[in-house]
Amino acid sequence: MKDSSNNRHALVISKDYPQANFTWILSLALAALFWWNSFPTKTDELNPFVFALFCAYMLTSIFQLFITRKMKKDLLNTGGIHKTTRRLGYFQLASLLTGNIFAAAFAFNLINKRKTPEYTFAVYTLLTQLAVIAISSVNLFKPYVSDTFLIAMASLLVIALFHLVALILTVHYVREYTAPRWMSILAVVLMATAVTGNLFALLLGWSLFMKSRRFDSSRLLKWNVMWEKITRNSTAVLGMFFILLMLTISITSRFTFDYALAVENNYSAILQAPSIVYPFGTDNFGRDVFSRIVFGARISLLVGFASTILPGLIGGFLGAIAGYYSNRIDNWIMRLLDILYSIPGILLAIAIIAAFGANTVNLIIALSVGGIPTYARTMRANVLMVSNYDFVDSAKALGASDFSILFKQVVPNSLAPMIVKSTLTIGGAVIATSSLSYLGLGVEPHIPEWGNILKVGSTYLESNSYLAIFPGLAIILLVLSFNFLGDGLRDALDPKLD
């Protein structure tokens, strides 16, 4: 009796089991989506390509359900997952061919019992690289490709191979706190491959570097614990994966995608439905919507990050000063910021853009100004809390000046909530960017930006609805990823939950 209750507990605390459930449900939902779309409403013919996708996802989902059942049985009987069940993960890896990232991520997780943060990094490094190659290879069906396409694709493939090697080496040699010394070379090369935007490689490289160079064990412990907490939350890692994928795409698209296809008019291909040449169709000027969405990621990420970092710095600085210095300064700063706080962000942005005109720089400024008070409040609350700690008193006793105490001791220790806050607000900034562009108040209309693409799409809603659907999906996915990551970071960094 006691044994079975123990095993029930094992089921509850297992990290793999909830992810298994999550994966089959999501695969099933995607399969349903493809089923729905395999019969276009106008013609009653079956769309063979979408139907094939449906079959593949359905199969994955059924197989995933089978694995999940088996895991549950193993956990209830023995309290652990059986080796043969873990072997099934190798078969599930095949779902990678259909682009089912969720199933693939689960399979990688299932195969390896002993999961170091490096293993997770290595898996996602490889997945990101493969996804970038898959997305870029869509260009193969285009009438022409950019001049650098072949070289870029070749180097991406080489890097992907290298990442695969890194993954295998990580599985074999990296332990919880140690890694062989020769791995520091591998680590440096890995960090260098992060120039493609694949920051998972940077994380993996840095992590390996710390372990192979035998860094201080308390530092390693902290690093391990933090990343274990974050990677335990599978949705947070998937969110991070999608964000970094977008980042990598927006960097590599410079070489693998042809900008002309996204911005130059092509009157021989106006308003074409999605096909293999134009995966998301073409718009009213014959521009390829897929390329436009890919290039739009760049703007969304740029504006999102800029309009988060800028108010984060200004608001953080003001909040730190308000929280640390006298009541009078505090009152002045916070009352003045109350004025900014009482105007809704979008309205303030509209007013600023009305005054200075619609372009990307003004958009960033407009969105930043509205964000200052939120960050100031967050920072102030943390500084108020942290400046009561003992280490601040001891710094004072050592004769440090107020300014150096504030920025060397207090602020670094109150950054965690700021990071969480900013991750959660980047999503809002991305939405605000596209909303303002949709109103004609954001990015200039000729630049491919998701809001601009949607604006065109909204006029063809009745006849060519795909023009409005795909950019919207891109926005939702990116914002959802930021929200998932933010939630995961909050759970991992929030001291209240410790």
Partner 1 sequence: MAYTITSLLQKSYKEAQGKTVVQVLLVLAGLPVHLVIYFIYLIRKKDQSRDTVLKDIALELSKEQLSDQWHADYVDQLSRKRTFFQENVSDKELHEVAEKLVEERKKEEITRRTVDYFNQNGIQRTTYSVYFQSLLERRHFLLCTLLPGVLMYAILLLISNPFLTYIAERLIQSVLVIVGVAILVFTILYISPFDPASNILGESATQEQIAAFNQLHGLDLPYWQQLLNALKGIATFDLGSSFAGNEDVATSIANKFPVTLTIALFSVIMAVVIAIPVGILSATRPNSFLDYSFMFIALIGLSIPNFWQGLIFILNFSIKLNWLPATYSPSNHLSMIMPIVVLGTALTASIARMMRSSLLEIIHEDYIITARAKGLSKSQMLWKHAVGNAMIPVITVIGLLFGGMLGGAAVTEKVFNIRGIGSYIVDKQFIPDIPAIMGGVVYIAITISLVNLLIDILYAFLDPRIRSKINQS
From the list 300, 160, 412, 243, the residue with the least C-alpha distance to 292 is: 300
**Binding of residue 448 to partner 1 (CB under 8 A):** no
CA 324 to CA 321: how far, in whole Å? 5
**Binding of residue 494 to partner 1 (CB under 8 A):** no
Stretch that binds partner 1, among 51-59, 75-83, 313-321, 471-479 (CB under 8 A): 471-479
In whole angstroms, the minimum distance from the beta carbon of 107 to partner 1 comes to 21
Q: Quick one: which of 274, 312, 457, 488 contacts partner 1 (CB under 8 A)?
A: 457
Residues 18-37 touching partner 1, rule: CB under 8 A, are 21-22
As beta bridge partners, residue 282 has 288
In whole angstroms, the minimum distance from the beta carbon of 338 to partner 1 comes to 5
**Binding of residue 314 to partner 1 (CB under 8 A):** no
Q: Quick one: which of 205, 316, 427, 488 contacts partner 1 (CB under 8 A)?
A: 427
**Binding of residue 218 to partner 1 (CB under 8 A):** no
**Binding of residue 41 to partner 1 (CB under 8 A):** yes
Stretch that binds partner 1, among 138-146, 160-168, 179-187, 464-472 (CB under 8 A): 464-472
**Binding of residue 454 to partner 1 (CB under 8 A):** yes
In whole angstroms, the minimum distance from the beta carbon of 484 to partner 1 comes to 7
φ/ψ of 282, rounded to 5, equals -125, 160
In whole angstroms, the minimum distance from the beta carbon of 465 to partner 1 comes to 5
Please give the torsion angle defined by the CA atoms of residues 339, 341, 342 and 346, in that order, rounded to the nearest 10 degrees: 120
**Binding of residue 365 to partner 1 (CB under 8 A):** no
**Token couple for 369:** 């100004």
| Nearer CB in complex with partner 1: 117/239 | 239
Residues 473-492 touching partner 1, rule: CB under 8 A, are 475-476, 479-480, 483-484, 487
Q: Enumerate binding residues for partner 1 (CB under 8 A).
A: 21-22, 41, 335-336, 338-340, 342-348, 350-357, 427, 431, 434-435, 438-439, 441, 454, 457-458, 461-462, 465, 468-469, 472, 475-476, 479-480, 483-484, 487
